[in-house]
Structure 1
Amino acid sequence: MKGLNVSLEGMIDTHIHPGPDIIPRLLDDIEVAREAQIEGMDAIVIKNHVEPTASRARIASKLTGLKVIGGVTLNETIGGLNPSAVEASAKLGGRFVWMPTISREKINLSNIGEVLEVVAEHDLVLATGHLKPYEILELIDLARSAGIRRILVNHPLTRIVGASLEEQREMSRGAILEHCLVTCFHEQLSIGRIIEAIKYVGYKKCIIATDLGQEHNPSPVDGLKWFIGSLIRGGLKEKHISWMCSSAPKKLIF
């Protein structure tokens, strides 16, 4: 993979899927954290579709010395839009609350109010998961009305979300947009399309991450290096990459 000589010093990957998981993963929590620590990264965020990762993140942080951040995804396995699960995750140090992903079609979003109250109370990051654009826009409005200021739109260019450039610009008025490398592998999305979207809304409203961890894909650190190298070769400036991989995620999370 070209771009593997890129430095990841001080950077953060906000979207990694390590093991253990119910599907095979390339690396476990400790392995992925150690690889990031060796590269001098500042932090990583670990996500799981079926169980919370806050406790796992604490153990990985302790064993590796890297800041590993977890959270909870509001899928069927934790009771859907379950404010108690969000509260428990926050008390365990979780920083992220992802809206439904694999259970999106089974969960009624109308009773989101209590979840938003807990997110606001603990100043957590609210991420949009696999919601559709109209749901994301509505959620951003509800979240900001509830006092939530840390809002992340996950992989808007994927087929599962499918946000237009204009919808992304509208989302960026109240949230940060996270563009993930995995879409280039799984959906053959071009780097050019990602660059177009970043330029359309402005790099200061974007984060780049990998969404990696799958057995058949590169490791998250190798993927992030390739992603950054490809974006630079595509015309993005290094200082803009630094903002999207370091300054913006630090501001969002901490």
Structure 2
Amino acid sequence: MAENGSNERDAEIAELLKGAVDLHCHSGPAAMPRILDHHEALLDAAGAGFRALLFKDHFYLGVSHCVILEKLVPTDVKLFSGLALNNASGGINPHAVNHAINIGAKIIWLPTLSAQNHLDQLEGQGKTFPKTAKRMLPPEPLSALDATGRVSDATKQVLDLIAEGDIILAGGHLPASELIMVFEEAGRRGVKKLLVNHPTYIVGCTDDDMKALVELGAYLEHSIGMFVEGAGKIFGPDELAHYIQLVGPERTILSSDLGLRGSPRPLEGFRQIVAMLLDLQISPKDIRTMIGDNAAKLLNL
């Protein structure tokens, strides 16, 4: 009897995963030690009936990989990527953003590993973060603000390019206070697609910050890897339920943020989070909204 119940649950999860979209897939090649490459991530996603995958790397633009992979390995999964504005890309660099958008980037992440806030969190609060496989040059701290505490001219130029390209602006690892200022400016400049990456990790959002960002039109992207077993779990089901209730499923996106060696594969993370959502009595409709529909909307699918 228990086996039948387990089979039914697996079938229910498999059905809900059809049409899923992962906006935060950390496959390789990468400077970070990855458990799978883009090809393997694509095959996993295709086997589960995903609608799209978006490859994220902290150091390079992955659009070319997507174009070639889609051509060489035809599936029903759409592949996307974008650019993180870290030191490797020249920081908050309008020229790099202009090029990325022109060749098909769907998202620009504000600084992540090179963000002043990221470096402060690691140093001042003793937080740990995965290390690159080989030693990199010391990071030069980045902020989206200038010396006077206002949104910098380079950031404004990047926002204009994102607005013109109608792609996603993601907050990266900037602190909540900085993010609110940048997203307010983004709204004034016509950016329509705003995404807050793991708001409760590194970014440091309070409940009020999350509500303020959603009022500015943002979606909150929670990292599945922070809730599931085998990935250095930080949060539990109660926190997940709270974050969903805070802004509603219609403003919540669940993306894997998985691929690091020693963690589950992104697909396994999705399976675990769907099981957790079912245990929380979240409706299938709301689950689909959070693991696929909201992200698909941002990608114009």
Relative to the length of structure 2, the TM-score reads 0.81
d(CA) in 1 for partners of 2:237 and 2:64? 35
**1:205 Cα shift?**
0.7
8 Å contact from structure 1 (residues 58, 93) kept in 2: no
Amino acid at match of 2:278: I
| 1:50 is the counterpart of 2:59 | yes
8 Å contact from structure 1 (residues 120, 146) kept in 2: yes
Which residue is 2:95 aligned to? 84
d(CA) in 1 for partners of 2:186 and 2:102? 20
Amino acid at match of 2:59: V
8 Å contact from structure 1 (residues 42, 67) kept in 2: yes
Structure 1 residues 162-205: Cα deviation after superposition (integer angstroms, max 9, x where no partner):
21112111111120110111223335211210210110111111
SS of equivalent to 2:24: strand
**1:161 Cα shift?**
1.2
Structure 1 residues 124-162: Cα deviation after superposition (integer angstroms, max 9, x where no partner):
10000111111111111011111001111101121x112
**1:70 Cα shift?**
0.4
Which residue is 2:109 aligned to? 98
Listed as ranges, the matches of 1:1-254 within 5 Å are 5=11, 6-7=13-14, 8-64=17-73, 65=75, 66-105=77-116, 106-109=141-144, 110=152, 111-158=154-201, 160-173=202-215, 174-184=217-227, 185-254=231-300
Q: Gaps (5+ residues) in structure 1?
A: none
The RMSD of aligned alpha carbons is 1.4
Report how many residues are paired: 252
Structure 1 residues 63-82: Cα deviation after superposition (integer angstroms, max 9, x where no partner):
33321110000000010011
Pick which of 58-67 and 129-138 moved more: 58-67
Pick which of 118-127 and 2-11 moved more: 2-11
Structure 1 residues 16-62: Cα deviation after superposition (integer angstroms, max 9, x where no partner):
11110112101111110111011110001100001111111212222
Relative to the length of structure 1, the TM-score reads 0.95
d(CA) in 1 for partners of 2:164 and 2:112? 23
Amino acid at match of 1:108: S
SS of equivalent to 1:186: coil
